[in-house]
């Protein structure tokens, strides 16, 4: 018997063949309309029954948060059922071989200028206020939330109950509420799914995310910058998102929360990917979007822990998520086979990927017409990621790689860092913003994003830097700076570093083949550059050797060095002299 609970007004509609896990409160009473199927007569009919305890608890939770008078609530639908709902509501299209293709409208990337944190007494003293963490008054939040509650009245809601954090000691329980089925599909793919039904029935969330993309803020009334908003209220443990359909805002808002909560428990929260070798050696890869975090951690010879967000506790590394959110523009089947395979798999959500809607519904990963920030969201399972570490956990790292997509083309493709240099480059967080990841970015531009994730860091960078420094020293971790950006010249002149060369350099470092090779000190950036690496041409190891115009290289290197020094002035007062002395020569 399949059940579906619905409003009386829908009593006469034609029912789909399969719907489940939907409930509705009838004017606050503990009863629901349930669709029943009478097998002998092959007819469906509605009957009023007592609401299940778990469903009643969920309805009461929604009403306690001020959400009431909704139409149908779909709770924890599996992916196939979400497909059916999303197609019925015309939210997207099913492509050849099964992925669900959606378009997110004008917002095809994160909108960091539209992110706010409510200024309230429980967190006010801890937040790193400024351009990254913009404050909004609690009174403004209350008015906006009230209008959001009114907007959702009479609408269907989709709920996913899930977790963030593979280490149960630090795990937080989530309830993600969306007005679109495909956003619920995204949440189910990206967070840690609850398989045990008894656990699911008794789920009590630590944080609630409400995502309503068609509800817009009024900047004149709400104190926002535009119609879009992502607002975190730490005291109420609530996140509200509106005015944007870009699904990445859901996962990154939870990441921001973990970056606030976990360091208070001496857990280092990191914007990084992580994997494990055959000898259980863990490697982590710091980097912003477009630097290769996801691609380089998807190594067939190593088990993937996760591709984007992790914690480092006193027992080791653990993934925050249960899925991957990979950039797929110009993705190569040969160079990135594991990620590519998921662009052809049922259950994957493809964001803003071009598709032949009138023909065979085949996607074109090379088409950046809508955005360069095309994405694939898929779960980490033994099917989607055959070499996954399904526990989502590993030991303490043996190697740390700090990835940068250097648009100047002057940093070495790989270099070893001293502990002080590691702290300097971690705090600096130099890279190039890659087209599409944020609104308004159309081509790579040099930027500094402290901790390789400034948009998501709720606390002062020194908090994360101190934690990382202690862990590197305690566990004697090798640290490397890896340039996945340009070689032979800056962006527009040189070319992007070949991924095969980068993989060869990473493999050499992971296998200990660079431990005793001869190195040379870069005269500007002071890092130790190996003179030879198995599988990589010697010429590319020294950036100046790849430039036709040596004087132009010197000028660009000096320009980038000055940018490093100018950027770091903000942090000089909170670091040691040893770290400050790791700055490039100017």
* Beta strands in 154-212, from DSSP E residues, in sequence order: 157-164, 172-178, 192-193, 207-212
User: Which is the catalytic residue, given 251, 293, 425, 433?
Assistant: 293
Structure tokens at 237: 């443990």
Closest CA to 327 of 576, 526, 109: 109
Res 2: pLDDT: 33
Beta strands at 134-137 and 115-119: parallel, antiparallel or unpaired: parallel
Tokens of 415: 């270099």
Among left, alpha and beta (phi > 0; psi -120 to 50; other), residue 352 is left
Helix (H, G, I), strand (E, B), or coil: what is residue 532? coil
CA-based torsion, 84, 85, 87, 93: positive or negative: negative
Q: Is 569 a catalytic residue?
A: no
The beta strands (E) that lie in 51-167 are given as 73-75, 93-94, 100-102, 115-119, 134-137, 157-164
If one counts every other C-beta atom within 10 angstroms of the C-beta of residue 442, the result is: 10
The pLDDT value given to residue 562: 96
**Of 31 and 555, more confident:** 555
Provide the pLDDT for residue 417. 98
271 is catalytic: yes
Residue in 294, 295, 313, 449 annotated catalytic: 294
**pLDDT recorded at residue 24:** 53
Q: Cα–Cα distance between 80 and 201 in angstroms, integer? A: 21
Neighbours of 20 (CB within 10 A): 14
Q: Do 303 and 275 form a contact (C-beta atoms < 8 A)?
A: yes
On the question of pLDDT at 312 being above 60, the answer is yes
pLDDT for 185: 98
How far, rounded to the nearest angstrom, does the alpha carbon of residue 345 sit from its chain's CA centroid?
Answer: 20
**pLDDT, tens only, 314-334:** 999 999 999 999 999 999 999
Q: What angle do CA 166, 405, 295 make, to 5 degrees?
A: 45
The pLDDT, as a whole number, for residue 55 is 79
The reply to whether 203 belongs to the active site is: no
Question: What pLDDT shows up at residue 260?
Answer: 98
Q: Does the pLDDT at position 513 exceed 70? A: yes
Q: Which helix (H) or strand (E) holds 258?
A: helix 248-261
**What pLDDT digit, counting tens, does each position of 217-258 carry?**
999 999 999 999 999 999 999 999 999 999 999 999 999 999
Catalytic residue among 119, 271, 471, 526: 271
The predicted pLDDT at position 53 comes to 75
Residue 335 confidence (pLDDT): 87
What percent of the chain is helix, strand and coil (3-state, nearest 5)?
30, 25, 45
Instruction: Give pLDDT, residue 12.
Output: 35
Q: Which residues contact 274 (CB under 8 A, 6 or more apart)?
A: 282, 283, 284, 285, 297, 304, 305, 306, 310, 317, 319, 394, 397
Separation of alpha carbons 355 and 582, rounded Å = 48
Residue 5's pLDDT is: 38
Catalytic option among 4, 25, 55, 110: 110
Residue 282 bridge partners (DSSP): 276, 397
pLDDT at res. 56: 82
Q: How does strand 73-75 pair with strand 157-164?
A: parallel
Binning pLDDT at 50, 70 and 90, where does residue 22 land?
low
Structure tokens at 104: 């997110």
Catalytic one of 55, 156, 161, 308: 308
Confidence grade of residue 494 (pLDDT, cut at 50, 70, 90): very high
Query: Is the CB of residue 293 less than 8 Å from the CB of residue 435?
Result: no
Told to judge if 375 belongs to the known catalytic residues of this protein, a careful annotator would answer: yes
pLDDT at 446: 81
**What is the predicted pLDDT for the residue at 7?**
32
CA distances 202 to 172, 460, 496, Å, are 14, 36, 50
For residue 77, what are its two tokens?
């639908």
| Lowest-pLDDT range of 54-63, 192-201, 306-315, 400-409 | 54-63
- Say whether 53 is catalytic: no
Confidence of residue 26 (pLDDT cuts 50, 70, 90): very low
Q: What is the C-alpha to C-alpha distance for residues 220 and 310, in angstroms, rounded to an integer? A: 38
Catalytic residue among 289, 291, 295, 371: 289
> Is pLDDT at 215 greater than 70 in this prediction?
yes
The overall average pLDDT reported for the chain is: 91
Confidence at residue 222, expressed as pLDDT on a 0 to 100 scale: 96
Catalytic member of 119, 203, 252, 302: 252
pLDDT tens figures, 338-386: 999 999 999 999 999 999 999 999 999 999 999 999 999 999 999 999 9
pLDDT in tens, 76-103: 999 999 999 999 999 999 999 999 999 9
Residue-wise burial string across 176-215, b where 16 or more C-beta atoms lie within 10 A, e elsewhere: bbbbbbbbbbbbbbbbbbbeeeeebbebebebbbbbbbeb
pLDDT of residue 57: 84
Q: Contact at 8 Å (CB) between 261 and 232? A: no
**Active-site position among 140, 303, 375, 556:** 375
User: Residue 573 — very low, low, confident or very high, per pLDDT cuts 50/70/90?
Assistant: very high
Q: How confident is the model at residue 13 (pLDDT cuts 50, 70, 90)?
A: very low
Q: Which residues contact 22 (CB under 8 A, 6 or more apart)?
A: 3, 4, 5, 6, 72, 73, 74, 75
pLDDT 10s digits, 117-169:
999 999 999 999 999 999 999 999 999 999 999 999 999 999 999 999 999 99
CA 146 to chain centre: 28
| Predicted pLDDT of residue 14 | 36
Q: Is 327 annotated in the active site?
A: no
Closest C-alpha to 540, from 571, 572, 499: 499
Q: What is the pLDDT of residues 454-492, one digit of tens each?
A: 999 999 999 999 999 999 999 999 999 999 999 999 998
CA distances from 360 to 93, 95, 102, 579 (A): 12, 8, 17, 57
Please state which of the ranges 39-43, 403-407, 529-533 shows the lowest mean pLDDT.
39-43
Cβ atoms < 10 Å from Cβ of 378: 24
* pLDDT for the residue 445: 75
- Tens of pLDDT, residues 536-554: 999 999 999 999 999 999 9
Lookup: tokens for 190: 């990206």
- Report the alpha-carbon distance of residue 431 to residue 204 in Å, rounded: 40
CA–CA separation, 431 vs 237, rounded Å?
32
Q: Cα angle at 285 between 279 and 290, to 5 degrees?
A: 140
Per-residue pLDDT, 30: 52
Q: What confidence score (pLDDT) does residue 18 get?
A: 36
- The mean per-residue pLDDT over the stretch 390-410 comes to 97
Structure tokens at 97: 């071989």
């Amino acid at each position: 018997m399949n059940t579906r609970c619905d409003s009386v007004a829908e009593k006469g509609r034609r029912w789909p063949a399969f719907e489940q896990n939907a409930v509705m409160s009838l004017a606050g009473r503990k009863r629901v309309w349930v669709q029943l199927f009478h097998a002998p007569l092959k007819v469906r009919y509605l009957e009023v029954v007592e609401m299940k305890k778990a469903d009643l608890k969920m309805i009461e939770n929604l009403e306690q948060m001020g959400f009431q008078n909704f139409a149908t609530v779909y709770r924890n639908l599996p992916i196939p059922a979400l497909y059916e709902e999303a197609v019925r509501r015309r939210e997207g299209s099913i492509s050849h071989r099964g992925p669900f293709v959606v378009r997110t409208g004008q917002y095809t990337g994160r909108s960091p200028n539209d992110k706010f944190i409510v200024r309230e007494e429980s967190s006010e003293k801890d937040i790193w206020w400024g351009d990254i963490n913009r404050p909004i008054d609690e009174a403004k939040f209350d008015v906006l939330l009230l209008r959001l509650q009114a907007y959702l009245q009479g609408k269907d809601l989709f709920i996913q109950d899930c977790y963030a954090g593979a280490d149960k000691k630090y795990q937080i329980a989530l309830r993600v509420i969306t007005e679109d089925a495909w956003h619920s599909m995204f949440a189910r793919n990206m967070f840690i799914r609850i398989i045990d039904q008894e656990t699911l029935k008794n789920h009590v969330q630590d944080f609630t995310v409400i995502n309503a993309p068609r509800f817009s803020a009024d900047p004149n009334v709400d104190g926002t910058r535009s119609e879009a908003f992502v607002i975190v209220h730490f005291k109420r443990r609530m996140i509200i998102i509106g005015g944007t359909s870009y699904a990445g805002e859901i996962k990154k808002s939870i990441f921001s929360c973990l970056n606030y909560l976990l360091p208070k428990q001496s857990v280092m929260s990191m914007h990084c990917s992580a994997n494990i070798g055959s000898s259980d050696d863990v490697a982590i890869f710091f980097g912003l979007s477009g630097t290769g975090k996801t691609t380089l951690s998807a190594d067939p010879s190593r088990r993937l822990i996760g591709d984007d967000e992790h914690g480092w506790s006193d027992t080791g590394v653990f993934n925050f998520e249960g899925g991957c959110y990979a950039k797929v523009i110009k993705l190569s089947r040969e160079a990135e086979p594991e990620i590519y395979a998921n662009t052809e798999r049922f259950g994957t959500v493809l964001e803003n990927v071009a598709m032949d809607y009138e023909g065979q519904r085949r996607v074109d990963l090379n088409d950046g017409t809508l955005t360069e920030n095309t994405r694939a969201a898929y779960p980490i399972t033994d099917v989607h990621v055959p070499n996954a570490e399904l526990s989502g956990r590993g030991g303490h790292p043996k190697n740390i790689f700090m990835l940068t997509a250097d648009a100047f083309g002057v940093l070495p493709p790989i270099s070893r860092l001293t502990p002080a240099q590691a702290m300097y480059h971690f705090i600096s967080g130099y890279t190039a913003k890659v087209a599409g990841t944020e609104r308004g970015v159309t081509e790579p531009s040099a930027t500094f994003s402290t901790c390789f994730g400034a948009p998501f860091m709720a606390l002062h960078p020194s908090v994360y830097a101190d934690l990382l420094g202690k862990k590197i020293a305690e566990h004697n971790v090798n640290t490397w700076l890896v340039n996945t950006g340009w070689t032979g010249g800056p962006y527009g002149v040189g070319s992007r570093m070949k991924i095969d060369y980068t993989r060869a350099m990473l493999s050499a470092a992971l296998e200990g083949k660079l431990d005793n090779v001869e190195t040379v000190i870069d005269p500007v950036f002071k890092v130790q550059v190996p003179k030879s690496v198995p599988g990589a041409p010697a010429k590319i190891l020294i950036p100046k050797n790849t430039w036709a115009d040596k004087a132009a290289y010197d000028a660009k290197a000096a320009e980038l060095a000055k940018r490093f020094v100018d950027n770091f002035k903000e942090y000089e007062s909170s670091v040691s002299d040893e770290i400050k002395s790791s700055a490039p020569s100017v």
